[in-house]
Chain A
Amino acid sequence: MSTILVVDDDKNLRRLYQAELEAEGYRVILAEDGKQAVKLAASESLDLIVMDIRMPEMDGLEAMARLLQDRVGLPIILNSAYSYFQENFLAWAAEAYIIKSADLSPLKEKIRAALRAQPPDQLLSRNS
C-alpha cells in the first residue's frame, strides 16, 4: 500500500482528499502546512506528497525544496488554487502541477502515473 502525505491548510480539503484517496486504496497522512510536512516526512515512510502551495508557516515550494534535498526523487505533486506559481523555477522540480478542482480525477490520475513510474536510478541504469 502506497503512503501519500497530503499537505493543505484547509481543514475541509484535507478531509476530502483523505476520504477520496483512501477510497482509492492509499494510506493517507495529513499535514497542515509545509513545516509539519517536513517534520512528518522525516519520521514517516512516504511514496508521494500532494502539496498545496500557499500555506502559513512554510509554503509548499519551500517545503518541497527541503524535502527533495533529503529525499531525492520523491514525487511531489503541487496542488494549488493558483496557476502563477507554474512560472517559478522551483515549481519545475515537481512531479506535476495541478490547479485545485472539485473534480479530483486529474489529481488521482497524476498520482497513479507517478507511483507507476520507476525510481529514476533504475530507469537510467537501464538506458545507459
Chain B
Amino acid sequence: MEISSPEKPLSAAESLERRVAELTILYEVSRALQKLSDEEKALYTILVGVTHGRGLGFNRAFILLVDSKEEWLEGRLAIGPSSAEEASGIWHDLREKHQTLGELLNLLVESDIKKDLRVNGIVSQFRIPLSDGGNPLLKIMRSREACLAVNGTFEPHGFAVDPVLPSLLGVSSFAAAPLYLADEDLGLLLADNAITQAPIDLPNLRLLQIYAQEASEAIQNIRLYRALMEKIALCERVNQTLRENQYYLLQAERLSTIGKMATLLAHEIRTPLVSIGGFARRMLRTTPPDDPRKEEMDIIVSEVSRLERLVNEVLGYSKLVKPEYKPTDVNSLVRSVLLIMQDEIEKHSVRAVLNLDPSLPSAEADESQLRQALLNLVTNSIEAMPSGGVLSITTSLDREYFEIGVCDTGLGITQEHLGKLFTPFFTTKVTGTGLGLTVVSHVADNHNGSLRFDSMPNQGTSFHMRLALHPDVASATRTPPRAASTREVTS
C-alpha cells in the first residue's frame, strides 16, 4: 500500500495524546449533534468537525448523501476556503478567538449556516445514479471502508480514480469515508487538504472512518427525529380534526334533541288546538252575525288555524308522504326477489321460470315498495302450489310502461273469494295478514300503474302489474288509502 505520508512511529505519550484528541473531537461533535434537529445544520456540524484545526484538521470536507427516493448519490454540503488567502484569514480569526471545537460548535447550533460558495459549487456537481454499479464512489460507499485517493488509485481498495474527480475537486489526493448504518448506505464523506497540500496519513484516515460512523448515526437520529415529528404533527392534526368533529357531533346531537322536543311539543299542542278551534267553530256557527262576540270568535278560529299551520310546518306535514323514485333495474330486482324466496321455492317443489325482457330500460321506481309487492305476489303463488308447480315471472316493455307478470300453476281463486281479494285483512290462509294484495295494489297506484289478474280454479293464477317507467311525481303523490271497493279489478 502506497500512502503519500507513511506512518511514522509514535511515542507512547504521543499516541495517547492523539487518542485523547480523537475522543475529544468525537465527544464534542456528537454532543453538538444531539442538540440539533435540522439535517442541514447537522451536516454542517459534521463538516466543521472534519475541518476544524482542533478537530480532524482537514482543509475541506464534502458530504454526499443518498436521496430519499434512493435513486441518486448527491452532493449535499461542503465546507472549506476557496483559496490560500481566504484560508489564512479564517485560520487567523480562529486562532485569535481561541475557540475550542466545543465553543465553536455551540455557536453553530445557535447561528445560521454560512455556505462557502466555491466548495458548495463543487459538491452540487456530484450526482451519481445508484444504478451505476461501476462508479468508484458508489463502490467505496458500498464497501463500507474508508480509502484514500492517491496517484490515480483508491487505496486500499485498488479501484482506479475516475479522472473527473481530481479535476472537479482540484486535488489528486483526498480521503473518502462511507456513511452507513447496519442496513442502509447513507452516503460518503470526502475530505482533502487542498490548501496546505498536507499529506493524509493512515491514522487520519482511520479517524475519519470512525468519525463517519458517528456522523452516520447522527444523520440517522435526525431523520428518525424528523419522521417522529412528522408523525406527531399528523397525530396532532388528526386530534384537531377529531376535536372539531366531536364539537360538530355534540352540536348535531343538541340540535337533534331540540328537534325531537319540537316535534313532541308540536304533537302535544295539536290535540288541544283541535279542541279549541273545533269548539270555537261550533260556537261561531250558532252565533248570530250581529252578535258582538262573533268577531272575537273569528279571532280564535283564525289564530288556531295559524297555529295549526305552524305546527304543520314544524312537523313537515306540508310534504306529503311520497314514494322515493329512483332509477331501478327491474330485471335484477326480480332476480333478487327470487333469490330471497329460493328456500321457499325449493321447499314447495316449485320450479321457477324467468322470462325477463333484456331491453327493459331503467325504471323510476320505489325499489323497496316494488320489492315488497313482488315478494307478496311470489309468496302467494308459492302458497297456491302446495304440491309443487311452475312459477313464472315475466317482464316486458309497453311504451311508457313496464309490466311484471307473476304466474303460477296452483289452486286458483274460487269464485267465492274473487271479490274479496283486495279487501284488507281478508285471508284464506292460516298464517297471513290479509294485507298482501292490499299492499300490491297500493304499490301499483303509487307507480301510476294498475294491477290485473286472471285465475282458473285448479289451473293457476296470474297477476300483472303494469307500472309507469316515469311515474309523474305530482300525480303519483300518494293518495289517501282507498277502500277495497274502489280498486281496479279485472278478472
Contact = CB atoms under 8 A, between A and B. Distances in A.
Interface string A86-128: 1101111111111111111000001000100111110111011
Interface stretch (A9-17, A29-37, A38-46): A9-17
Contacts of A94: 424, 481
B371 interface: no
Contacts of B270: 81, 100
B435 A89 contact: yes
B431 to A, nearest CB: 13
22 contacts: A16-B275, A19-B282, A68-B434, A73-B423, A75-B483, A81-B274, A84-B321, A86-B478, A90-B435, A93-B425, A93-B435, A94-B481, A97-B480, A99-B317, A102-B278, A103-B277, A103-B305, A104-B281, A120-B419, A120-B420, A120-B485, A128-B419
A72 interface: yes
B61 to A, nearest CB: 80
Contacts of B281: 102-104
A53 B469 CA distance: 35
Given A92-B438, A93-B435, A123 B275 contact: no
Contacts of B267: 81-82
B111 interface: no
B482 A95 contact: yes
Contacts of B482: 95-96
Given A93-B424, A103-B277, 18 more contacts: A10-B271, A13-B274, A65-B433, A72-B420, A72-B423, A83-B321, A86-B321, A87-B321, A91-B481, A93-B438, A96-B480, A100-B274, A102-B274, A103-B305, A114-B483, A117-B486, A120-B484, A120-B485
A81 B278 CA distance: 14
A94 B478 CA distance: 14
B321 A128 contact: no
Given A91-B481, A94-B481, A117-B483, A102 B273 contact: yes
Nearest to B301: A102
Nearest to A127: B489
A72 B277 contact: no
Interface in B271-304: 271-282, 301, 304
Contacts, number: 126
A117 B485 contact: yes
Contacts of B433: 65
A57 to B, nearest CB: 17
Interface in B446-491: 478, 480-486, 489-491
A97 B479 CA distance: 9
A10 B372 CA distance: 36
A121 B321 contact: no
B315 interface: yes
A79 to B, nearest CB: 10
Contact of B439 (A92, A104, A110): A92
A78 to B, nearest CB: 8
Interface of B: 267, 270-282, 301, 304-305, 308, 312, 315-317, 321, 372, 418-420, 423-426, 433-435, 438-439, 442, 478, 480-486, 489-491
Contacts of A101: 274, 277, 308
A85 to B, nearest CB: 10
A91 B442 CA distance: 11
Given A73-B484, A92-B481, A68 B321 contact: no
Contacts of A103: 277, 281, 305
A59 interface: no
A27 B160 CA distance: 120
A99 B434 CA distance: 26
A87 to B, nearest CB: 6
Contacts of A81: 267, 270-271, 274
A86 to B, nearest CB: 5
Nearest to A67: B425
B304 to A, nearest CB: 5
A82 B270 CA distance: 9
Contacts of A68: 424-425, 434
A20 interface: yes
A102 B483 contact: no
Contact of A89 (B273, B315, B439): B439
Contacts of A110: 480
A49 to B, nearest CB: 13
A65 to B, nearest CB: 6
Nearest to A8: B271
Contacts of A117: 483, 485-486
A68 B422 CA distance: 13
B275 A124 contact: no
Contacts of B434: 68-69
A110 B482 CA distance: 10
Contact of B304 (A99, A100, A102, A120): A102
Contacts of B273: 102
